[in-house]
Chain A
Amino acid sequence: MNNALDMLLVFLVLTDLVLLGSSRLRNAIRIAALQGLMLGLLPLLAHGHGFGWSAVLLGAGSALLKGFVFPSLLNRALRETNARREIEPLVGYVASLLIGMGALALSFGFGARLPLPWPAPSQWLVPAGLFTVWTGLFLIVARRKAITQVLGYVVLENGIFALGMVLVEAMPLLVELGVLLDVFVAVFVMGIIVFHINREFDHIDVDQLRALKEPAP
């Protein structure tokens, strides 16, 4: 149907897989930034005809935030906390990739069944979006560092953004901008919190937060 769009979606899925398998933090941040930049093109491609102002605005804003602002915020947090450069997974890279493959298959299965109000611009759009959402959630669940979790949050938003393209006719610009602002504030706050957790506990290992759990009676 739309070759460029399909290529973009394939690229989205591939970056997700790279994120699942990458072991270096800085590398992962770079990949997420690249993903965000490419997604900026999505609104333009999804509407094969007629570049609406809203689509251009949305794409540019999203690319700017996700391609430049978030990575620089995350890199700054990384620098300031002197965290080790490894990702420290709870689930190993190979296992992550295998789970990723399973999730990809599942998202294709779900994507085919999901009833949509409008026909999607590409049959790959919904599965790729779902897969990106799940990748983001998986990064939050299966990685130890707080920074990786912020990263997972950004990827999650990328997935929502991609899924939102289905509804781009219906979803007002304002809603999408609201989601974007939401993520911006979240990343900003999380960056600060990560910094504070680090200062308070000398590490940003979320796993060790369970020392705060109240003891069983």
Chain B
Amino acid sequence: MPAQGSMLLFVLLGAVGLLGASGAASVFAGGRSERWSVRLGVGGAVAACLAGLGAAALALVLRADAVRTFAWNLPYGSFAVGLDPLTAFFLVPTFLLSGLAAIYAVGYFRPWHGRNPGRFWLFYNALVASMALVLLARNGVLFLVAWEAMALTSFFLVIHDDAADGVREAGWTYLVASHVGMAFLLALFFLLGRAGGSQDFAAFAAPAGSAGGLFLLALVGFGTKAGLVPFHVWLPEAHPAAPSPVSAVMSGVMIKTGIYGILRTLALLGGVPAWCAWLVLGLGAVSGLYGVLYALAQRDLKRLLAYSSVENIGIVALGVGLGMLGVCHGLPAVAALGFAGGLLHVLNHAAFKGLLFLGAGAVVHATGTRDVERLGGLLKRLPWTGAAFLAGAVAICGLPPFNGFAGEFLIYGGAFKALLGSDSVGLGGLAAVIALALIGGLAVACFARAFGIVFLGEPRTADAEQGHEAGAAMRGPMIALAAICLALGLGAGAAVRILEPAVTMLTGPAGASAGEASMTWLFPITCAALASALLAVVGALVGLRRRLLAGRPVRETVTWDCGYAAPTARMQYTATGFAQPLTQGAEVLLQPHVESRLPAGIFPAAAAFRSATGDVARHRLFDPLFRGTANLLGRLRWLQQGRVHRYVLYVVASLVALLGWALVR
């Protein structure tokens, strides 16, 4: 249906244009009227996201496949945009979460304290537009331009609170990481385009025998954006620094463009050697474990969520790696289950991580701190936020009836298929099962800790005590996302049916039929059965409780009142203490910095304990690397004299040398 595809493409491009225009309008209105600036910004964002969401969903259902090329005077560039199942599938969470986060932002930023709201809306709307364009682009130059726009707009959003502590440094880290990744992508597209003679995706061709090398370039370049270990170092810096709606969009959908890039490269290259699949699988397992262990050790709520994003990207990579293994070794069922699980987890993660970041934002908004050791007892003060956060936490742990379960279940399915099916990939399946099981268990501990310390117990400080529920603009999107999490969990079968064409794109037609058989029968039944069984059990327990309590006096009292004469909030578990049994085992990896003064004597007086966890990849890998580079380049400093004459001389000398070389050669 090319005509419909073109129509949908025009709608999507219109949404991109509307985003750009409304952001700019918001800046100009901001000088005169704060209210109009916000209205224009959020109105444009929500309208564009609704239109885009509708078009993308329709494209998925219709399985639209279209490419349009518009005139664009740029060397090697053409404004080629296209729609196919993969693009449409990634567009859905992008527009969905961006629209909801835009509504949330209205409440989050109020009051503006006299700053121009256009500052936020310009970059936010441009970020959404550039993400959509990255997904739509079918030309290397256009893709890179959109990719760069995405990096820059999100950089400006990260440093939105540029006066706060450490925000500029975090922004700097993010900018450097983005551009290091970009360098690899430039090389990738240059090589692909040179072999094919054009930067259009349709013409791309990998020179014989180089598919593995090219995929490696893509893995580093796109993996930096996605946050695969060890390229994840920007995530735990940038997410806490950014305003919460921005963190939600960046973590929920922007880092997924990295996954999209890897999958798109796979589709463009046609086939990759098997070692690439093993590499992706290994990186996924490492990222998942690394992310969840670091998440356990964090005190900063948003930093914790950032590390959890690393973990979830690891799970997605596990799925993708299994899928690639299946393709390489001719196991269609493994391929279909792996890719389907990875893609479904992308969608799911967008929903629950968006929800969790928005919830964390509501907590920060209410209490003014992100430090979990200073929170506590917030469930009574922020009941809606607490309930939504709980839904997100259950979902991210991969527990039914929420959506996290479905994606991981598919990956488990693929891993067991690989384990049982064939000797050559059995080890991969085994590794994936073990990694997933470990990650899942640790994730439950991590989010039990996060939810328990922040929302349960008694407030640890006055800040937490004075917390208040978020306004309607912030509550609405959180409730909507929680509902989406539940709906995706109950309707996982339908979700898988919808992403089937995208999976077929990656596995080839043979994979679909084999995978379909195992997926369509087993999967929805299992998911629905488990979910409804669980709901039934919970319902029965609630009913039982009500019956047992009927007619009895129910008394409410303080938490932590179990016979203590003078209970204080300091008697509660701390976040560090809660995680200690688990983090102690991982000290080799975490390398925490601990200062303690232990109590001594029979009547101990003062004692102190302090621990902080840095990032081992940053301290042991990137810091020495960058310091070494700086030292090396420092030796060239004598070239920089500050004399204009010298600089012109350098230019002249190199031009004359080039001319001479060209003529004499």
Binding site for B on A (CB under 8 A): 90, 106, 110, 113-114, 134, 137-138, 140-142, 144, 149, 206-207, 209-213, 216
Given known contacts A110-B663, A113-B663, A114-B663, is B642 in contact with A210 (CB within 8 Å)? yes
B641 touches A (CB below 8 Å): yes
Give B651's nearest chain A residue, CB to CB. A137
Instruction: Judge whether A209 and B640 touch: CB under 8 Å.
Output: no
Instruction: Judge whether A206 and B645 touch: CB under 8 Å.
Output: yes
Q: Which residues of B contact A90 (CB under 8 A)?
A: 645
Q: Which residues of A contact B649 (CB under 8 A)?
A: 141
Distance in Å: Cβ of B631 to nearest Cβ of chain A: 11
Q: Which residues of A contact B656 (CB under 8 A)?
A: 106, 134
| 447-477 of chain B: CB within 8 A of chain A | none
Give A149's nearest chain B residue, CB to CB. B644
Mark B388-401 against chain A: 1 for CB-CB distance below 8 A, else 0: 00000000000000
- Complex Cα distance, B652 from A142, in Å, reads 12
B605 touches A (CB below 8 Å): no
- Complex Cα distance, B643 from A78, in Å, reads 22
B47 touches A (CB below 8 Å): no
Q: Which residues of B contact A137 (CB under 8 A)?
A: 648, 652
Q: Which residues of A contact B642 (CB under 8 A)?
A: 209-213
Count of A-B contacts judged by CB separation below 8 Å: 41
Q: Which residues of A contact B652 (CB under 8 A)?
A: 134, 137-138, 141
- Complex Cα distance, B646 from A206, in Å, reads 11
Q: Which residues of A contact B645 (CB under 8 A)?
A: 90, 140-142, 144, 206-207
| 199-226 of chain B: CB within 8 A of chain A | none
Q: Which residues of A contact B660 (CB under 8 A)?
A: 106, 110
Mark B603-640 against chain A: 1 for CB-CB distance below 8 A, else 0: 00000000000000000000000000000000001001
B3 touches A (CB below 8 Å): no
Distance in Å: Cβ of B633 to nearest Cβ of chain A: 12
Q: Which residues of B contact A216 (CB under 8 A)?
A: 637
Distance in Å: Cβ of A22 to nearest Cβ of chain B: 19
24 contacts between A and B (CB under 8 A): A90-B645, A106-B656, A106-B660, A110-B659, A110-B660, A110-B663, A113-B663, A113-B664, A137-B648, A137-B652, A141-B645, A141-B648, A142-B645, A149-B644, A206-B643, A206-B644, A206-B645, A209-B642, A209-B644, A210-B641, A210-B643, A211-B642, A213-B642, A216-B637
Q: Can you name 17 extra interface pairs (CB under 8 A) apart from A207-B643, A210-B643?
A: A90-B645, A106-B656, A106-B660, A110-B660, A113-B664, A137-B648, A140-B648, A141-B645, A141-B648, A142-B645, A144-B645, A149-B644, A206-B644, A206-B645, A209-B644, A213-B642, A216-B637
Residue of A106, A137, A138, A206 with most partner-chain B CB within 10 A: A137
- Complex Cα distance, B638 from A213, in Å, reads 12
- Complex Cα distance, B652 from A207, in Å, reads 18
Distance in Å: Cβ of B307 to nearest Cβ of chain A: 32
Distance in Å: Cβ of A173 to nearest Cβ of chain B: 23
Mark B553-566 against chain A: 1 for CB-CB distance below 8 A, else 0: 00000000000000
Distance in Å: Cβ of A186 to nearest Cβ of chain B: 14
Q: Which residues of B contact A110 (CB under 8 A)?
A: 659-660, 663
Residue of B642, B645, B659 with most partner-chain A CB within 10 A: B645
- Complex Cα distance, B656 from A171, in Å, reads 23
Give A141's nearest chain B residue, CB to CB. B649
- Complex Cα distance, B659 from A114, in Å, reads 9
Q: Which residues of B contact A149 (CB under 8 A)?
A: 644
Distance in Å: Cβ of B392 to nearest Cβ of chain A: 45
